[in-house]
Structures are given as structure tokens and as C-alpha cells.
Amino acid sequence: MCVINVALFGCGTVGGGLWQILQEERERIIRRFGVEVNVAGVCVRDIEKERAADLPRTLLTDDPSVLLSDPSINVSIEMIGGEREALDVVTLALEAGHHIITANKLIVARHLPALRRLERGFGGTLRYGAAVCGSIPVLKIIDETLTVDRITAIRGVVNGSTNFILSRMAEGVSRADALALAERSGFLEADPRADLSGADAAQKLSILAAHAFGVHLPPERIATCGIEEITDLDIARATSRGETIKLVAEARIDSEGTVVLEVAPRVLALTDPLAQVQNEINIVELECERAGVQRYTGPGAGSLPTANAVVTDLLDLVASDYSSAGRGLLVEQLRPWSALIAA
């Protein structure tokens, strides 16, 4: 049986969920794929910090170079958050021709063209399905749709945190209490401003547009307005009219062929499909030339939905290499760094 050694960078909310899933699903993965996923090391900022995940202390290090230089590691998974440290890990992995999975929407949205160049130049693999809409495999859907169809517009509620807050406010919960509840539930980013300002949604929209239209627009260049100015009174007025307010991300091709991206609160009729998703649920609506309008929904925030998307990326990587050629191809494709560099 082939063993895939995995290194985790970061073990916060998502990392803890990932560890849980990999332990619980170990036997099922072995039966289905004929491989064992072994977490060989975990890099954290503070080894002494208490964690929800029951990680063996022997796996922990606070030095990223220990794992980045380990020739036995086959796949790295970056869940550090932020930009600089996370980008360094992903860049070093790709420069080594390594397989790297990230849930970091910020670095993908800002640096996708450069990361793709590293992939092509060094032969590594970058996967980031978990960076957009949590449990919804929307990037895979878009990529597969484009093989036979053309997407002309995208519309969606892609930030589960703000949707949770707005849902609570629509029920009569005050803005302050809704925000506190979202934080206690683990739905908010480490810096809540990323959610509330619309920046998180803009980052996801940037990635969606890159896949749907082949155009990279950094999130800072996307017209963005968050929910910071939405008050309890605004919600009450919308409710009294039989409407609701959602933070909507939109991408479309205008009459001149230009890709237009925007994130902003929208007042929606309750009959609008986007108005009907509540709590931390996301919805993405794809308008296609042949297939018409397609809608996909699922949890977009929280430990396990995001961690599950990371595992899906990992197993997609395994499945893509596990062909009729047998396990030998899998081992060849998942060789450690030292072999990849020498090849």
C-alpha cells in the first residue's frame, strides 16, 4: 500500500477540522484509493498552545524549514492564514516542484498568475478549491462547465459570515449581538474586517472570475462595499416590504466584452434564490450560454466544511494520479521533493 506523507502548515480552526476528518476517514480512504494519508508533521506558531485537535506533540514544529526541507513529504497543506508567511510556504513548495494545497483565498486572489507560472516552471501542483465557498466545489464545476459551454455571468452570496449576520438581523437580533454570535460560532476571519468590508467576498470573486473568464483582476481593483453601514433599521425596513438584504458578489461580461466585477449589499425580493439562503450557507449562480442558469449551495464557513474541501483537493490529487496504470503511477507522481528536484 502506498503511503502519502502530508505536512500541515497551521492548525487552527480549519487545521483542527482537517486532522479530525483524516483520522475519522482513514480506513475509508485506504479502501477507496488504496493509499494511506499520513500526517507526518505540523508546523504551528506556538507549540505550547492548547488545541481542540488531539495532535501528538511529536508531530509539532514551529520551524517551517523543517517540513519544507523534509524529503519524505509528498504533499503540503497551507492553512496559516494571512499573506506573507502563507505565500512563502506556497512559493517554496512550488519552486521545489511540490504538490501544495491551500485554503488561502487572499494569496490566490492576489498572486494567482505568479503562482501559475511557478507551477509551469517547476512542475508542481497547486490546488485551492477550499479557498472559495467552503464545501461547494464551484471551481471544479466551472472548469468542467467550460469544456463544453461558456459562462457569461456569475452571481452569488459567497461569504458565509456576513450571510449569518444578516440572517440573524432579519430575525430581529441586533447587529452587535449577531456579530458576537458569528464570532463565537467560528464563522468570522481572524480579522473580522475582511468579512464585514466585503474584502473576503472580493477575493473569492477574483478567483471565480479567473476560472470563468480567464481574466485576473486583483481584489483591490474590484468595486467593493461591505455590510459595515447596514443597520438594524435598514434590515427592518427591508423586512417590512417583504424583502431582504444580502451581500452579493457579481461578475459579468458587459456589451463591450469587458469583465465587470462588483461586491455590494443588495435589496432582494424574497423570491430571489439568493434571498433564500440563510445562516452560513453560500450560493453561486452561473449563467451559461447552453445550460442556462445553474445554482449551487452549501456551507461556506466553519471548520469542517472548509476542511472537507481541503480533503477533497487532496483526494482529487490522489485520484488524478491513480489511473489504470496502477499504483506505480501514483508513487511516481507523488515522489518526495528530493526525487522531484533531481528528475
Hey, which residues are catalytic here? 204
Instruction: List b or e across 201-237, with b for residues whose CB sees 16 or more CB atoms inside 10 angstroms.
Output: bbbbbbbbbbbbbeebbebeebebebbeebeeebbee
Q: Backbone phi, then psi, for 77, in 5-degree steps?
A: -125, 115
Distances (CA, A) of 153 to 47, 99, 203, 209: 46, 32, 17, 9
Query: Partners of 295 in the beta sheet?
Result: 285
Single-letter residue type at 238 = A
Angle subtended at Cα 334 by Cα 328 and Cα 335, rounded to the nearest 5 degrees: 90
Yes or no: say if 14 and 103 are a contact pair by the CB < 8 Å rule. yes
Nearest-angstrom CA–CA distance, 264 and 165 = 15
Task: Quote the cell numbers at residue 188.
Answer: 468570522
Helix axes 199-213, 105-122, angle to 10 degrees: 40
Alpha helix stretches (DSSP H) within 69-197:
84-95, 105-122, 138-145, 160-170, 175-184, 193-196
Beta-sheet pairing, 292-299 with 281-288: antiparallel
The owner of cell 437580533 is 173
Yes or no: say if 24 and 53 are a contact pair by the CB < 8 Å rule. no
Helix axes 26-33, 303-321, angle to 10 degrees: 20
Residues 317, 81, 49, 58: is their CA dihedral positive or negative? positive
